[in-house]
Structure 1
Amino acid sequence: MTSFASTPLSRIPVTIVTGFLGAGKTTLIRNILENAGGRRLALIVNEFGDVGVDGEILRSCGIESCPEENIVELANGCLCCTVADDFIPAIEALLANPRPPEHIIVETSGLALPKPLVKAFDWPPVRARLTVDGVIAVVDGAAVAAGRFADDPEAVAAQRAADDSVDHDNPLEEVYEDQLLCADLVILNKADLMSTNELIRVGEEIAAAIPRAVKVVEASEGRIAPEILLGLSAAAEDDLANRPSHHDAEEGHDHDDFDSFAVTIPATDDPQALVDALANLAEAHDILRIKGFVEVRGKPMRLLVQGVGARFRHQFDRPWRAGESRTSRVVVIGEKGIDRAAIEASLAGLAARAA
């Protein structure tokens, strides 16, 4: 990478990376960091849950372009709901750095609506220093191809009306659609898990859902050149009218539709057996997301486990640090009413079998 599009010196560009749970936002950002070409970057990571998995993944990169002090983790709630309390102080702290960042990347929670965050950049104190270079929506193409989200609201309404077991709307559809509607660029991720026909169909569905010209770019493992992602010069804060949202008439939005909790689990001797057990658990309880760190007995490396629905992946991400507690903990995220007691009992069963 040689250069990014220029921005007025008084305003630092900010890229907002949004996308549904497990779409690959953190992987995409890590790729940006590893190919930043020496440009000073800063990250603001908004977690959902009290185990900072995404922040830890990015901090462990050890990349000179984004030192650890330039990674800010906000875990007090969805960033789009806590702009004044969390986001503004974080920005102020980054700008007070003797060597302030040249570009800021914000990774929102998978449950976040990006438009309220973009609106914050229209506040005079923020507008004077920052501009939204672009909103990037990362889509789990394989999940969408499998029908996780509906693209025809009338057909969904008819289906729900015909099914007595469905008595409420699925809020995930609105979150997904709002993220697309606010985007300046859509990354159709996990393309390697899709057929050619699925890639064409999902790409067309995404383009049809957005009432303006937005490029859809296919990717695998979030591998996209930073010059495609950064330097869009969208000034999204000046373009809010063209970014409709299901929640435009509301003061905010409610995340009571989701439950999130962290559970301590035992160390494992067999990573694959653990992942298989977690996948079965996710399928049995309709869990949206499981992510966390696990100790593998006899191994010096920490195991990162991430699951979207029943699709899981795991890898050793870094060595355990000297004096670091080797506690194995995972965050479980599901829709409101998820059977937490049953899930915790199942995870406790893992401990009993490991004893």
Structure 2
Amino acid sequence: MEDDEDPPLAIRIEDIPGDSPPEASSRRPDSPAAAGDSPVGVTVITGYLGAGKSTLVNYILNARHGKRIAVILNEFGEEIGVERAMINEGEGGALVEEWVELANGCVCCTVKHSLVQALEQLVQRKERLDHILLETTGLADPAPLASVLWLDDQLESEVRLDSIITVVDAKNLKMQLDEHRNSTSFPEAFLQIAFADVVILNKIDLVSDRGHLEDLETEIRNINSLATVIRSVKCQVDLLKLLDRQAYGAKNLAHLSELLEDGKSLPSSSRHDHTVSNMCIYELQPVDLTKVRLWLDDLLWEKSSNMDVYRCKGVLNVHSSNQLHTLQAVREIYEVVPAREWNQTEKKINKIVFIGRNLDLNKLNDSFRGCTVTV
């Protein structure tokens, strides 16, 4: 296995004198917890078995980033290098947890039952945290986690979904995708890429053909054109590209410039595809926001079109509004919010990218036109 490496130095929390954090991890004055009014970002780290998730977590925990980061593992295991029995069953099935403090001030725990309970306990330590990492199992579908963590800003949650990071194995990814492409059981490898905000193409040192890496990036973008693809060796990536992305913020403008491009650079094939793919629809006429919400309800909840939409992101030109509206959805959860005023130089358009299975461009275009307003 490529993931074997020196573990972070672990110290049981109860052995640390006092409640003050180690000097090496003193809080930055502009950190979210210090400010007292910003939720703590949660980054979900997923990836197929052996891709290098634990390598990434260990890299982040060992890096000199000046942040206090909490790591939650949702399975037993020794990959993270901290003591294994950090969570046990108490009397009557009660949950007994032992948190482990790492030498650089980070916190680590293992969750066997309630993710919400673990997050609540971490929030109680909020004055000591900058960020939370959640490492999933290799067979996990990240969509349910997004549903739990991505909450409306008006709920004023103490945590927020920051982004979903998927680690893929450059040496074995093509084989994994080909092996399951026509499988009756839908492959996790596709799902994890489809829901990702960032895809780390790891172990590129094991691939001698540079052209093969280009082909892999094309495969990834054919599944998810919205994700940022980063190549890496042993998951050594610039942390500024991973943390605090705020990909699910109500007014997040990531990909906005790309979405506003007049050229159709994103996929718009009319092919009816039974595998995971992404498609893009365009419409110049302004739309009625109430009709758009009803259209999303039907598309994402009722699924009357038989299309299985995993994610969508776009910009909307709303009738009688000077505000550019952004649309974002993960499975059945969606959000349409005003982001800012349209610039005078911008062409007002509706443009939505869909990622999913059994997508049909003609059906998407035809149904969306029912939301338009003739002016």
Which interval holds the TM-score relative to the shorter structure? 0.5 to 0.7
Secondary structure of 2:211's counterpart equals helix
Letter in 2 for 1:71: C
Gaps of 5+ in 1: 77-84, 157-167, 250-355
Letter in 1 for 2:311: P
Percent of residue pairs bearing the same amino acid type: 28
Residue 138 of structure 1 corresponds to 167
Q: Which residue of the other structure, out of 82, 86, 110, is the alignment partner of 2:138?
A: 110
Residue 302 of structure 1 corresponds to none
Letter in 2 for 1:169: T
Tell me whether 1:244 sits opposite 2:308 in the alignment.
no
Residue 193 of structure 1 corresponds to 206
Structure 1 CA distance, aligned partners of 2:157 and 2:123? Answer: 12
**Residues 121 and 127, structure 1, Cα contact 8 Å, conserved in 2:** no
1:151 deviates by 8.7
**Residues 31 and 130, structure 2, Cα contact 8 Å, conserved in 1:** no
Going from structure 1 to structure 2, the CA distance change for 1:104 and 1:169 (only over 3 Å counts) comes to same
Residue 95 of structure 1 corresponds to 123
Residue 221 of structure 2 corresponds to 207
Going from structure 1 to structure 2, the CA distance change for 1:126 and 1:92 (only over 3 Å counts) comes to farther
Letter in 2 for 1:42: A
Deviations 1:5-39 (A, max 9, x none): 97683311111111111110111111112224221
Secondary structure of 2:217's counterpart equals helix
Larger Rg: 2
Which sits farther off after the overlay, 116-125 or 177-186?
A: 116-125
Structure whose residues are more often helix by fraction: 1
Residue 73 of structure 1 corresponds to 110
Letter in 1 for 2:138: G
Residue 326 of structure 2 corresponds to none
**Residues 44 and 163, structure 2, Cα contact 8 Å, conserved in 1:** yes
Q: Which residue of the other structure, out of 23, 36, 55, is the alignment partner of 1:27?
A: 55
Residue 77 of structure 2 corresponds to 52
Deviations 1:193-235 (A, max 9, x none): 112121111111001111x422111101111021111121112
Deviations 1:323-345 (A, max 9, x none): xxxxxxxxxxxxxxxxxxxxxxx
Structure 2 CA distance, aligned partners of 1:190 and 1:61? Answer: 29
Secondary structure of 2:110's counterpart equals strand
1:170 deviates by 4.1
Count of residues in Structure 1 that have an aligned counterpart in Structure 2: 214
Going from structure 1 to structure 2, the CA distance change for 1:204 and 1:148 (only over 3 Å counts) comes to same
Tell me whether 1:183 sits opposite 2:196 in the alignment.
yes
Which sits farther off after the overlay, 225-234 or 117-126?
A: 117-126
Secondary structure of 2:79's counterpart equals helix
TM-score normalised by the chain length of structure 1? 0.53
Q: Which residue of the other structure, out of 169, 174, 177, is the alignment partner of 2:184?
A: 169
Residue 219 of structure 1 corresponds to 232
TM-score normalised by the chain length of structure 2? 0.50
Residue 119 of structure 1 corresponds to 147
Higher relative contact order by CA 8 Å / sep ≥ 6: 1 or 2?
Answer: 1
1:141 deviates by 1.2
Going from structure 1 to structure 2, the CA distance change for 1:152 and 1:34 (only over 3 Å counts) comes to closer
Structure 1 CA distance, aligned partners of 2:250 and 2:48? Answer: 22
Residue 285 of structure 2 corresponds to none
**Residues 14 and 130, structure 1, Cα contact 8 Å, conserved in 2:** yes
Secondary structure of 2:245's counterpart equals coil
Residue 104 of structure 2 corresponds to 64
Structure 1 CA distance, aligned partners of 2:250 and 2:108? Answer: 23
Which sits farther off after the overlay, 94-103 or 33-42?
A: 94-103
Across the aligned residues of Structure 1 and Structure 2, the Cα RMSD in angstroms comes to: 3.5
Structure 2 CA distance, aligned partners of 1:114 and 1:141? Answer: 20
